[in-house]
């Protein structure tokens, strides 16, 4: 069965000392509080802090992810970081297609597909973000937008590859705004995504894929979101920068 995952996307926050302190605080709280079984925490710091964070990683409940990866293999692409580099540092996960990358850096469903291919080729698990903007929700287009992002970003994969993917539904209007989707709004999109996966890859594959919710998720709303049958965890922005809140969210299953 699928894993419960609580992943922290630090975005472009923290200097080195703050990052070191944050990951230290998270780990010391985890030693005190026993995480529920089958719950995995993933921390996704900025690239320069990946190595320091992997010192804390283990194979059972605390892993490290990057926030981005190049869509190319290697070579003259100044400023880019390849999946092979991440593989060589034993990074396990990588966020792809975050709405901030789609909005500010021109990432398309095609770029997302190419990045997913790079990650899978090098043994990393992609956390693929999908979600509609406010206008699309207001005009009732959320199901079709998410369907397009899932199909174009992922449906070229084989079933075996698909099993390595984590999907994060992040309604853009809920990111960093304090406005969380209601459990009903989130659940119906998660169920829609799972039904698309079942139609393409079969129910067994669909049942094994973790689908996370992201967008103003915090300790006060995580429990009711995670209680929904198709919500398997969260992709946490702001609240992942506070060790107490991040660990409290992971304890919400």
**Binding region for ligand 13P (CB under 6 A):** 9, 98, 170, 175-176, 214-217, 235-239
DSSP E strand boundaries for 34-158: 39-44, 62-66, 93-96, 125-130
Q: Which is nearer to ligand 13P, 83 or 236 (CB)?
A: 236
Tokens read off for 20 = 């070191």
Q: Which is nearer to ligand 13P, 150 or 236 (CB)?
A: 236
Task: Report the nearest approach of ligand 13P to the CB of residue 71 (Å).
Answer: 19
Please identify, using beta-carbon distances, which residue of 50 and 201 lies nearer to ligand 13P.
50
Tell me the CA distances in angstroms from 89 to 44, 57, 121, 179, 210, one per residue in order.
14, 12, 15, 36, 24
Active site residues: 98, 170
Other CB atoms within a 10 A radius of the CB of residue 191 amount to 15
Select the residue whose beta carbon is closest to ligand 13P and give its number: 237
Residue owning tokens 């929700």: 137
How many degrees, rounded to 5, is the angle at CA 16 between CA 73 and CA 107? 35
Query: How far apart are CB 165 and ligand 13P at their closest, in Å?
Result: 16
CB of 102 to ligand 13P, least distance (A): 12
Strand partners for 41? 6, 62
C-beta closer to ligand 13P: residue 175 or 251 = 175
What's the closest the beta carbon of residue 221 comes to ligand 13P, in angstroms?
11
Q: Which one, of 126, 213, 138, 209, lies nearest residue 171 by Cα?
A: 213
Beta bridge partners of 108: none
């Amino acid at each position: 069965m699928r894993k419960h995952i609580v992943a922290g996307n630090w975005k472009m926050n923290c200097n080195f000392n703050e990052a070191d302190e944050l990951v230290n605080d998270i780990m010391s709280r985890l030693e005190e509080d026993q995480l529920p079984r089958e719950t995995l925490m993933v921390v996704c710091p900025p690239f320069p802090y990946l190595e320091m964070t992997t010192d804390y990683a283990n194979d059972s409940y605390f892993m490290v992810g990057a926030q981005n990866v190049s869509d190319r293999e290697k070579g003259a692409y100044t400023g880019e970081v390849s999946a092979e580099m991440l593989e060589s540092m034993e990074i396990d996960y990588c966020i792809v297609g975050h709405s901030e990358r789609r909005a500010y850096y021109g990432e398309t469903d095609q770029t997302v597909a190419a990045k997913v291919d790079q990650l899978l080729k090098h043994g990393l698990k992609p956390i693929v973000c999908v979600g509609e903007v406010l206008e699309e929700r207001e005009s009732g287009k959320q199901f079709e937008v998410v369907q397009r992002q899932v199909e174009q970003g992922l449906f070229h994969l084989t079933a075996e590859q698909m099993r390595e993917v984590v999907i994060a539904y992040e309604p853009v209007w809920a990111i960093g705004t304090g406005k969380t989707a209601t459990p009903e709004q989130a659940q119906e999109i998660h169920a829609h995504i799972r039904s698309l996966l079942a139609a393409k890859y079969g129910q067994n594959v669909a049942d094994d894929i973790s689908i996370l919710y992201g967008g103003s998720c915090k300790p006060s709303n995580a429990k009711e979101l995670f209680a929904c049958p198709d919500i398997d965890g969260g992709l946490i922005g702001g609240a992942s920068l506070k060790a107490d809140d991040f660990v409290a969210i992971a304890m919400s299953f």
